[in-house]
A and B are shown apart, each in its own frame.
Chain A
Amino acid sequence: GIQVEQSPPDLILQEGANSTLRCNFSDSVNNLQWFHQNPWGQLINLFYIPSGTKQNGRLSATTVATERYSLLYISSSQTTDSGVYFCAVVPGTSGSRLTFGEGTQLTVNP
């Protein structure tokens, strides 16, 4: 099946810093989503972005489907950004469901 690799596995920032999270995938995709899981377990859908660029406030995401990667940018980070960020994909060549990466654990310190 498709492989989804996220980097870095852990990231510690000071409040106000910017960061870039990366998601590499091993096959073409027709669905890519970024999620944020807060410390209480709630998963929030941040972006549906199989290709192109989207922005939502301090967060933006870019997927370069031809090169099989996606980036999540967090600017002016806040302590509430802490949690785990997951990338999830569906291969374009099959009808299977979302496959999740192992996530990036982000800690933003005040």
Chain B
Amino acid sequence: ETGVTQTPRHLVMGMTNKKSLKCEQHLGHNAMYWYKQSAKKPLELMFVYSLEERVENNSVPSRFSPECPNSSHLFLHLHTLQPEDSALYLCASSQRVATNEKLFFGSGTQLSVL
């Protein structure tokens, strides 16, 4: 148990659906992150939030829309996804946004887009 909880664990959706991924951290951290892990590829950073404010967006398509209502919760809203968006989506948190911080990850949401 890392203190970072993601739901759902698995999600199957059609290209016209709208769904949301949820992440909650119980560590008292102030920074939260979304990563994408595709098969045979390294983890890719998608978004970074610091104290509910988005501080980084790594050229992610607009069909992915993050939301951070408070420092403990992070959402990733999905709409009109493509089959190539199928991947494991991982949430992480750290004490703060800094280059020397230790990251703690959730178990991920395995997303399949049909």
Assess whether A35 is interfacial by the CB under 8 Å rule: yes
Tell me whether A48 and B42 are in contact (CB under 8 A).
no
- Contact count A vs B, C-beta below 8 Å: 57
- Interface residues on chain A, number (Cβ under 8 Å): 25
**Inside 8 A of A90's CB, which chain B residues have their CB?**
99-100
Assess whether A95 is interfacial by the CB under 8 Å rule: yes
**Inside 8 A of B102's CB, which chain A residues have their CB?**
33, 45, 48
Secondary structure call for the B interface: loop
Closest A residue to B109 by CB, please name it. A41
Tell me whether A43 and B99 are in contact (CB under 8 A).
no
Closest A residue to B102 by CB, please name it. A48
Closest A residue to B104 by CB, please name it. A45
**Inside 8 A of B90's CB, which chain A residues have their CB?**
41, 43
Interface residues of A in 75-103 (CB under 8 A from B): 86, 88, 90, 95-103
Set B42, B100, B105: member contacting A43, Cβ < 8 A: B105
Set B43, B107, B110: member contacting A100, Cβ < 8 A: B43
Most buried by A among B56, B103, B107: B103
Set A45, A50, A102: member contacting B42, Cβ < 8 A: A102
- Using a CB–CB distance below 8 Å, which chain B residues touch chain A? 2, 33, 40-43, 45, 48, 56, 88, 90, 92, 99-108, 110
